[in-house]
A and B are shown apart, each in its own frame.
Chain A
Amino acid sequence: MSDMTDTGPVLAADGTPLKRSLARALRRQKLRALMLIAPLLLFILISFILPVGDMLYRSVKNDIVSKTLPNTVVALESWDANSGDLPEEAVFAAMATDLKSAAAAKIHTKVGGRLNYENPGISSLFRKTGRKAKKFDLEAETVWKDELIKINKGWGDTDVWRTIQTYSSPITAGYFLNAIDMRVGPDGPEARPEEEQIYMKLLKRTLWMSMMITVSCILLAYPVAWILANLPARKANLLMILVLLPFWTSLLVRTSAWKILLQQQGVINDILVWLHIVPDDARLVIINNQFGTIVAMTHILLPFMILPMYSVMQTIPVSYLRAAKSLGATDWTAFWRVYFPQTIPGIGAGSILVFILAIGYYITPALVGGTKGTFISNQIAFHISTSLNWGLAAALGAILLAVVLVLYWAYDRIVGIDNVKLG
């Protein structure tokens, strides 16, 4: 018999203390789990998180001015933009040096293009001066101040120099200011003139339309989820197919279907004309506007609302409603005071999901939204592929992403991200 009063540590079979042996086993288990996850985590980090982060960095990155005009940036540091005077001769000489080497490397138009986002007109100033800059004789005794102003009187404008000075630091808030309809003026950030304010309006419209889509999804999904949850399983499964089929059908197919239905010569208008509800010469305009986008996107996102509502409603016992009624509640009170509060988690989960998906939509608004029904995503795509103002696209993207991440965080807190139901 071993001595039961021995107070030494409990030992495992191999003689090591049990506590340490257990800790080692636990560590090994953790390590094994992490080894299984690591390849995917690495893959996602490299092929997804890194690219997105890299793009977001473009929203503040601004090294083009300091790289193309290194001498000017240094010389301009001491100039006081608010004095109203032009910079001194040394700055002009530095600009001449920079322009000559930039023009030789053919990058002067790029910096002009960059500064043109902030101060329209600078692009042509750089282009025109750059043409002459190749022949600048830097050794000769030239007063560069007069020479540059002679080539283009734009160089005599203090605003131009202020813009160059403002954007000479390698990090800028300019794109973000631009994205919220502001700009850097003489006295710091200021609002842009009314007619130039487009992005905040667009963001508000995106939020408002996503809200409309979410609300219409709630209204349409609630009765459907109710009937699915309360019918006998066999019938409910059959009806479920009607919900899941759109869910599995290609987004492009559903968008083209709506395009065909909503056209002026399309099926809906044809039926309305045939029923004499609408005269033939006054067919409804229900596409290429906000209405078209809202209808098509409600249809596309509806399954994402029905499925979480359904899974919540399935767990609510019918006996609660019966109990409420047997205690004297009317149908409405029983529903509103007993049933409805229990379905709120489902409504919340569905709403956040639909709102997150709606706010970032690109394809459907681009195809059925016309000009009035587009989203902020469409503007981001425009700046990436057409106007090539990548910094602004990144800033708009960062704002959109911030909204989405806040909602994602809320979703994770409320529903738990591993509770997403797919069919």
Chain B
Amino acid sequence: MSGLPPYASTGQRTWYYTFRVICGLIFFFLIAPIVVVIPLSFNAQDFFTFTPEMLRLDPEGYSLKHYRNFFSDSGWQAALWNSVRIAPVATILSVSLGTLAAIGLSQDHVPARRAIMAILISPMIVPLIISAAGMYFFFSRIGLQGSYWGVVLAHAALGIPFVIITVTATLVGFDRSLTRAAANMGADPVTTFFRVQMPLILPGVISGALFAFITSFDEVVVVLFVGSAGQKTLPWQMFLGLREQISPTILAVATILVVVSIALLTTVELLRRRSERLRGMSPS
């Protein structure tokens, strides 16, 4: 569909442009809600809509007060600190275990491969409320409920499917003769892994890690049940804010999170291209 052919009829022309407009509207639907949040977060008033001053682009209508509030409020700061403390540890756990398992799964002759895969992916499929309830009951029985490690373990379990999926996808194109060559030249399996295999699958591992990180950083249902007030994370604080009295500080937090996700998205895209180049595929 590279442009309209010169012989297109009027009907075809009309449809061609109508179709483009429809697609444009859908893209608008996808992106507008996220974009709208950004200017609103600079609102000088405590409103959730554009004030007349903002529409006139009057500097009076804009301010950084919601950001100041976010950085000075102890509740929000505690929540931010908790999120920053929990997500990286959960990520490290799921990436280290997940990468090993993905390498195991990519070998030939793995017994019950399909069943194992289905079990490992299940945390992504099982409704969060069921996982949350199960972990709540089970963790309170073994004394992990309401503890830092309880939340970390729960989030690590939720992040694992993403690591498995991204790392196995990278391993599909992995040339096994490279490890054989390394072994042939006298490298032991550990050296082979860290010096030959790891650098090649690293892009997949990192993008898996970013997925696991965002899963934990963004997770609210499980932490609501497994955590206690001491583990209140950023999404939890946002959830409370949205449910009880909605304060415009949420818009500032949302904008910051959008910036974080743009950074993550860019990193993942760059990694994907690098990975495809390393494996000799043409970048799509």
Residues of A within 8 A of B (CB): 26, 29-30, 32-37, 39-41, 43-45, 47-56, 58, 220, 223-224, 227, 230-233, 239, 241-246, 248-261, 263, 265-267, 270, 299, 302-303, 314, 318, 331, 356, 359-363, 366-367, 377, 380-381, 384-385, 390, 393-394, 397, 400-401, 404, 408, 412, 417-418, 420, 422-423
Q: Are the C-beta atoms of B111 and A44 separated by less than 8 Å?
A: no
Chain A residues with CB below 8 A from B36, complex form: 257, 260-261, 267
Q: Are the C-beta atoms of A239 and B120 separated by less than 8 Å?
A: no
Q: Are the C-beta atoms of A258 and B129 separated by less than 8 Å?
A: no
Which residue of A is nearest B268, CB measured?
A423
Chain A contact residues, majority secondary structure: helix
B26 proximal to A (CB < 8 A): yes
Q: Which of B56-64, B66-74, B150-158, B177-185 contacts A (4 or more CB under 8 A)?
A: B150-158
Which among A52, A250, A265, A363 is the interface contact of B130 at CB below 8 angstroms? A52
Chain A residues with CB below 8 A from B128, complex form: 360, 362, 377
- A127 to chain B: closest CB distance in Å? 26
Which among B114, B129, B225 is the interface contact of A397 at CB below 8 angstroms? B129
| With A256-B242, A265-B48 as contacts: A245 and B261 at CB distance below 8 Å | yes
Give A43 to B100 CA distance when docked, in angstroms.
Answer: 13
- A405 to chain B: closest CB distance in Å? 8
Q: Are the C-beta atoms of B218 and A252 separated by less than 8 Å?
A: yes
Which among B47, B122, B258 is the interface contact of A249 at CB below 8 angstroms? B258
Q: Are the C-beta atoms of B12 and A331 separated by less than 8 Å?
A: yes
Q: Are the C-beta atoms of B133 and A39 separated by less than 8 Å?
A: no
Which among B20, B109, B121, B122 is the interface contact of A33 at CB below 8 angstroms? B109
Can you list 20 A-B contacts (CB < 8 A)? A34-B111, A44-B123, A47-B154, A53-B134, A55-B137, A245-B265, A248-B261, A248-B262, A255-B242, A257-B36, A260-B40, A265-B48, A270-B49, A299-B33, A331-B15, A361-B127, A362-B127, A367-B242, A420-B165, A423-B268
Query: How many chain B residues touch the partner (CB < 8 A)?
Result: 93
| With A40-B160, A223-B19 as contacts: A404 and B127 at CB distance below 8 Å | yes
Chain B residues with CB below 8 A from A58, complex form: 137
Chain B contact residues, majority secondary structure: helix
Could you say which of A39, A40, A47 has the most chain B C-beta atoms within 10 Å of its C-beta?
A40
Which among A223, A241, A256, A363 is the interface contact of B22 at CB below 8 angstroms? A223
B78 proximal to A (CB < 8 A): no
B105 proximal to A (CB < 8 A): yes
Which residue of A is nearest B256, CB measured?
A253
Chain B residues with CB below 8 A from A233, complex form: 284
- B211 to chain A: closest CB distance in Å? 7
- B272 to chain A: closest CB distance in Å? 7
| With A245-B31, A255-B242, A360-B129 as contacts: A250 and B257 at CB distance below 8 Å | yes
The 5 closest A-B pairs by CB, nearest first: A360-B127, A36-B104, A51-B138, A51-B134, A40-B101
Give A223 to B116 CA distance when docked, in angstroms.
Answer: 36
